[in-house]
């Protein structure tokens, strides 16, 4: 009986170590932290509804950015447009991906604002007129604002 208990405890520790190591690996990857949302919120709270370039909203280096809309955008669309491998979750409404020197430096997932408006991360609406993917430049102009508690970032062509 004591031998079986030792085996169960040893197996449990092995599982904890393996899942912990996997979690550390996954956590070291860029993860959507809401930086773009926070930059939009800060911009709106400081200047109100205004125009801003994408570069002004980011505090990291990037050379290419891509907006994608699900479900029509595929991983292949993203990889073809950016020329990099992209293996991050993208099963929600859409997102933006930032690349520097052919390396992913940041990405942010945008939730469907109509799913759960009590979650502040879901109170952010991004509008880029595309059904799949759209490459973005540093000087692309966006309007930002807030109405009824919903912040928005809208691409100006």
The lowest-confidence range among 8-22, 57-71, 85-99 is 8-22
Q: List, in sequence order, the alpha helices (H) in the chain.
A: 2-27, 35-47, 75-82
Q: At residue 75, does pLDDT exceed 90?
A: no
Residues 69, 41: Cα–Cα separation, whole Å:
22
Beta strands 141-147 and 64-69 are unpaired
Q: At residue 111, does pLDDT exceed 80?
A: no
Domain segments of the chain as ranges: 1-30, 32-156
For range 55-84, the mean pLDDT: 87
Q: CA 150, 115, 70 angle in degrees (round to 5)?
A: 95
Most confidently modeled range among 2-16, 23-37, 110-124: 110-124
Torsion angle defined by CA atoms of residues 83, 131, 73 and 100, in that order, rounded to the nearest 10 degrees: 30
Q: Which two tokens stand for residue 11?
A: 């197996």
Residue recorded with tokens 């447009």: 81
For the chain, strand residue ranges (E) read 50-53, 64-69, 94-100, 103-110, 124-127, 133-136, 141-147, 150-156
| Residue partners of 153: CB distance under 8 A and separation at least 6 | 36, 40, 57, 124, 125, 126, 127, 142, 143, 144
**96 with 67: CB under 8 angstroms?**
yes
Q: Give the pLDDT score at 30.
A: 43
For range 69-98, the mean pLDDT: 80
Q: At residue 89, does pLDDT exceed 60?
A: yes
Average pLDDT, the chain: 74
Q: Which residue has the higher pLDDT, 24 or 95?
A: 95
Residues 144, 51: Cα–Cα separation, whole Å:
6
């Amino acid at each position: 009986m004591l031998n079986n208990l030792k085996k169960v405890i040893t197996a449990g520790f092995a599982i904890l170590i393996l899942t912990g190591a996997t979690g550390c690996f996954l956590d070291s990857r860029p993860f959507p932290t809401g930086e773009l949302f926070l930059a939009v919120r800060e911009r709106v709270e400081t200047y109100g509804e205004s125009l801003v370039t994408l570069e002004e909203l980011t505090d990291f280096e990037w050379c290419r950015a891509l907006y994608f809309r699900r479900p029509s955008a595929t991983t292949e669309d993203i990889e073809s447009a950016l020329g990099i491998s992209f293996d991050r979750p993208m099963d929600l409404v859409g997102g933006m991906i930032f690349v520097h020197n052919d390396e992913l430096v940041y990405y942010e997932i945008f939730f469907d604002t109509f799913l759960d408006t009590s979650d502040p991360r879901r109170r952010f609406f991004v509008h880029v007129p595309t059904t799949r993917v759209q490459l973005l430049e540093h000087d692309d102009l966006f309007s930002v604002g807030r109405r009824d508690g919903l912040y928005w970032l809208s691409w100006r062509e």
